[in-house]
């Protein structure tokens, strides 16, 4: 009898499953990490034509070794992604690849953090790469659309020896390029060369002396092993934000000034070290539809190798005096999630007792599952949009070797019973209550143990 019930439920589930028909290059997440078909590090977010565009670097499993013999960052090309709602992301494909850079070493795998800005209808994509002469240089590729196609200029920007370019288009009408560990110089009107009136200084590097263009904006600020500067202007203040190694791994910090090229005054942290020791963090800050966001990265899809990173997003807030409130990484992220989507509750807002594990340690991109180990274990997923029509069914993808009972709360509360299903099964059950609109979803285990849930959905 019990077997038949399970079978019947299994058949009902099979009949009700509606695979989302999405093109391969479109992802619906809303949670962190935001991109689930590849690694996306060093995310620079820009708003063009009313959409968010993200220009990350593209980590791949390491194919090169560092001087100390360890597996090293490997990046061979750049993709661009866009979204209108921070939930649905389209991968527009490769825009620049290392073998197409005329001045670059074609097998250096060193296409580190990029940026892209628009001027007079042209999109200027700035990217670091190892030059044929050795050492990092910064190149420019130009397009008529943020999605490309991009034409790569034959030479890198003269005067920049470094990584991680970021361009600030200031209200004084000038564009300033920041790179490496907080160096900054004015760009010419053409956006592709350093201006002739930039200051120059001779910098000592051990036994070597080098003439450098521009100024070091991080002079005198906490900046050990600083990299990845991101500069922007807001309410009459200039912000120089940057990762640096406070103790053993990177934090995101910031400084403020009344002038784009400084001097900058240190203000504090934007984000503390990642708890799992992921060594790098790299970010950008953008205002989209009136809300500020911090884009940053973490190695969520590569727990054993922190040079395969993934972009994440959090909301960012300013204080009255222009200082920035510290941001904590979350799994929930910022995107609106509809109750009719597969709601991955392992990207929780709050958890008590339950455990989160990878679904498949041979393929971390498959994501996570929530394990309700004992009665009382509970997970909350904030801001789930139930829309205007109360759902009549709840669908859960579950695995459980015992029968179980769950309390579901979202505006209202009710219980559902789960049958035994030792293999992953999609189970469709009547909705135990009526609910509509934006609700925080809470799921708690009432009876049973070790119930695994991949996702839930409401129809
Ligand atoms: O992605 C390679 C390097 O790691 C970036 O250029 C740095 O900012 C750090 O994120």
Residue 128 C-alpha to ligand 1 middle, in angstroms? 10
With respect to residue 325, please indicate whether it lies within any of the assigned structural domains: no
Residue nearest to atom 9 of ligand 1 (CA): 280
Check if the beta carbon of residue 117 is closer than 8 Å to that of residue 175.
yes
Q: How many domains is the chain partitioned into structurally?
A: 2
Closest ligand 1 atom to Cα of 42: 10
Task: Please state, in angstroms and rounded to a whole number, the distance separating the CA atoms of residues 127 and 156.
Answer: 9
Instruction: Please indicate, yes or no, whether residues 160 and 197 belong to a single structural domain of this protein.
Output: yes
Instruction: Please indicate, yes or no, whether residues 309 and 417 belong to a single structural domain of this protein.
Output: no
227 included as an active-site residue:
yes
pLDDT, one tens digit per residue, over 391-402 is 999 999 999 999
pLDDT, one tens digit per residue, over 135-178 is 999 999 999 999 999 999 999 999 999 999 999 999 999 999 99
284, 316, 348 — which closes off a domain?
Answer: 316
316, 331, 358 — which closes off a domain?
Answer: 316
Instruction: Please indicate, yes or no, whether residues 300 and 345 belong to a single structural domain of this protein.
Output: no
With respect to residue 10, please indicate whether it lies within any of the assigned structural domains: no
With respect to residue 451, please indicate whether it lies within any of the assigned structural domains: yes
Q: Which structure tokens are listed for 453?
A: 């849930």
Query: Of 43, 126, 164, which is best to mutate to test ligand 1, by the most ligand atoms within 8 angstroms of its C-beta?
Result: 164
With respect to residue 287, please indicate whether it lies within any of the assigned structural domains: yes
For residue 15, what pLDDT band results from cuts at 50, 70 and 90?
A: very low
At residue 8, does pLDDT exceed 50? Answer: no
With respect to residue 8, please indicate whether it lies within any of the assigned structural domains: no
C-beta atoms surrounding 331 within 10 Å: 20
At residue 11, does pLDDT exceed 90? Answer: no
Residue 375 C-alpha to ligand 1 middle, in angstroms? 44
Mean predicted lDDT score pLDDT of the chain: 94
At residue 14, does pLDDT exceed 60? Answer: no
Residue 22 C-alpha to ligand 1 middle, in angstroms? 31
Instruction: Please indicate, yes or no, whether residues 153 and 220 belong to a single structural domain of this protein.
Output: yes
pLDDT score for 210: 84
- Please tell me the number of Cα atoms within 13 Å of 167 on its side-chain side: 30
With respect to residue 248, please indicate whether it lies within any of the assigned structural domains: yes
At residue 183, does pLDDT exceed 60? Answer: yes
For residue 206, what pLDDT band results from cuts at 50, 70 and 90?
A: confident
pLDDT score for 203: 85
265, 283, 316 — which closes off a domain?
Answer: 316
With respect to residue 7, please indicate whether it lies within any of the assigned structural domains: no
42 included as an active-site residue:
yes
At residue 96, does pLDDT exceed 50? Answer: yes
Instruction: Please indicate, yes or no, whether residues 274 and 374 belong to a single structural domain of this protein.
Output: no
C-beta atoms surrounding 218 within 10 Å: 24
pLDDT score for 18: 43
Residue 228 C-alpha to ligand 1 middle, in angstroms? 7
- CATH number of domain containing 422: 2.60.120.260
pLDDT, one tens digit per residue, over 296-348 is 999 999 999 999 999 999 999 999 999 999 999 999 999 999 999 999 999 99
pTM over 0.85: yes
Instruction: Please indicate, yes or no, whether residues 112 and 222 belong to a single structural domain of this protein.
Output: yes
Domain extent for 39: 26-316
Instruction: Please indicate, yes or no, whether residues 297 and 445 belong to a single structural domain of this protein.
Output: no
Check if the beta carbon of residue 227 is closer than 8 Å to that of residue 164.
yes
At residue 34, does pLDDT exceed 80? Answer: yes
Instruction: Please indicate, yes or no, whether residues 409 and 304 belong to a single structural domain of this protein.
Output: no
Parallel/antiparallel/unpaired status of strands 337-338 and 378-385 = parallel
pLDDT, one tens digit per residue, over 404-431 is 999 999 999 999 999 999 999 999 999 9
Task: Please state, in angstroms and rounded to a whole number, the distance separating the CA atoms of residues 406 and 109.
Answer: 49
pLDDT, one tens digit per residue, over 282-302 is 999 999 999 999 999 999 999
Task: Please state, in angstroms and rounded to a whole number, the distance separating the CA atoms of residues 219 and 295.
Answer: 25
Task: Please state, in angstroms and rounded to a whole number, the distance separating the CA atoms of residues 415 and 432.
Answer: 6
Mean local confidence (pLDDT), 173-189: 97
For residue 10, what pLDDT band results from cuts at 50, 70 and 90?
A: very low
pLDDT above 90: percentage of residues in the chain: 92
76-90, 135-149, 201-215, 368-382: which has the minimum mean pLDDT?
201-215
For residue 20, what pLDDT band results from cuts at 50, 70 and 90?
A: low
Residue nearest to atom 8 of ligand 1 (CA): 228
Instruction: Please indicate, yes or no, whether residues 131 and 175 belong to a single structural domain of this protein.
Output: yes
What residues contact residue 363 under an 8 Å CB cut-off, 6+ apart?
none
Q: Which structure tokens are listed for 66?
A: 């560092």
Catalytic residue among 59, 91, 164, 227: 227
For residue 17, what pLDDT band results from cuts at 50, 70 and 90?
A: very low
At residue 21, does pLDDT exceed 80? Answer: no
With respect to residue 21, please indicate whether it lies within any of the assigned structural domains: no
At residue 43, does pLDDT exceed 50? Answer: yes
Instruction: Please indicate, yes or no, whether residues 303 and 439 belong to a single structural domain of this protein.
Output: no
Q: Which structure tokens are listed for 319?
A: 């204080």
Closest ligand 1 atom to Cα of 228: 8
Q: Which residues of 168-179 are buried (b: 16+ CB within 10 A; e: fewer)?
A: bbbeeeebbbbb
pLDDT score for 22: 86
Higher pLDDT, 19 or 378: 378
Closest ligand 1 atom to Cα of 128: 6
Instruction: Please indicate, yes or no, whether residues 442 and 400 belong to a single structural domain of this protein.
Output: yes
pLDDT score for 7: 36
At residue 377, does pLDDT exceed 60? Answer: yes
pLDDT score for 19: 47
- CATH number of domain containing 127: 2.115.10.20
Instruction: Please indicate, yes or no, whether residues 306 and 380 belong to a single structural domain of this protein.
Output: no
For residue 208, what pLDDT band results from cuts at 50, 70 and 90?
A: confident
Residue 42 C-alpha to ligand 1 middle, in angstroms? 6
């Amino acid at each position: 009898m019990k077997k038949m019930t399970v079978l019947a439920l299994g058949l009902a589930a099979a009949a009700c499953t509606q695979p989302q028909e999405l093109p391969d290059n479109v992802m619906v997440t809303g949670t962190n990490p935001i991109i689930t078909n590849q690694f996306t590090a060093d995310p620079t977010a820009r708003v063009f034509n009313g959409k968010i565009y993200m220009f990350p670097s593209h980590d791949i499993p390491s194919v090169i070794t560092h001087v100390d013999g360890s597996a090293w960052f490997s990046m061979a090309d750049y993709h661009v992604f866009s979204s209108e709602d921070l939930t649905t992301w389209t991968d527009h494909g490769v825009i620049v690849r290392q073998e197409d850079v005329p001045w670059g070493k074609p097998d250096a795998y060193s296409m580190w953090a990029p940026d892209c800005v628009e001027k007079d209808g042209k999109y200027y994509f700035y990217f670091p790469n190892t030059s044929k002469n050795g050492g990092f240089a910064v190149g420019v590729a130009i397009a008529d659309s943020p999605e490309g196609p991009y034409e790569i200029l034959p030479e890198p920007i003269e005067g920049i020896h470094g990584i991680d370019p970021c361009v600030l288009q200031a209200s004084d009408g000038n564009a300033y390029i920041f790179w490496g560990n907080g160096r900054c110089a004015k760009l010419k009107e053409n956006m592709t060369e350093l201006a002739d009136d930039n200051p120059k200084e001779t910098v000592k590097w051990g036994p070597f002396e080098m003439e450098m263009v521009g100024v070091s904006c991080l002079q005198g600020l906490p900046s050990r092993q600083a990299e990845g500067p991101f500069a922007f202007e807001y309410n009459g203040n200039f912000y120089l934000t940057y990762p640096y190694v406070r103790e053993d791994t990177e934090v995101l910090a910031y400084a403020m000034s009344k002038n784009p090229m400084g001097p900058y005054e240190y203000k504090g942290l934007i984000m503390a070290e990642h708890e799992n020791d992921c060594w790098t963090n790299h970010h950008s800050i953008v205002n989209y539809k009136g809300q500020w966001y911090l884009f940053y990265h973490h190695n969520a899809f590569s727990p054993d190798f922190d040079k395969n990173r993934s972009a994440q997003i959090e909301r960012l807030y300013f204080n009255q005096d222009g200082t920035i409130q510290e941001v904590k990484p979350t799994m929930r992220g910022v995107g609106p999630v509809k109750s009719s989507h597969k709601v991955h509750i392992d990207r929780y807002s709050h958890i008590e007792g339950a455990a989160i594990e990878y679904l498949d340690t041979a393929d971390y991109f498959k994501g996570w599952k929530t394990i309700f180990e004992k009665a009382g274990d509970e997970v909350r997923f904030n801001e789930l949009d139930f829309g205007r029509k109360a759902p009549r069914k709840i669908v859960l993808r579950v695995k459980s070797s015992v029968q179980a009972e769950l309390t579901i709360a979202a505006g209202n509360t009710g219980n559902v019973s789960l049958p035994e299903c030792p293999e992953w099964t999609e189970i469709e059950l009547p909705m135990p209550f009526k609910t509509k609109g934006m609700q925080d979803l809470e799921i708690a285990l009432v009876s049973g143990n070790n119930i695994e849930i991949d996702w839930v959905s409401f129809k």
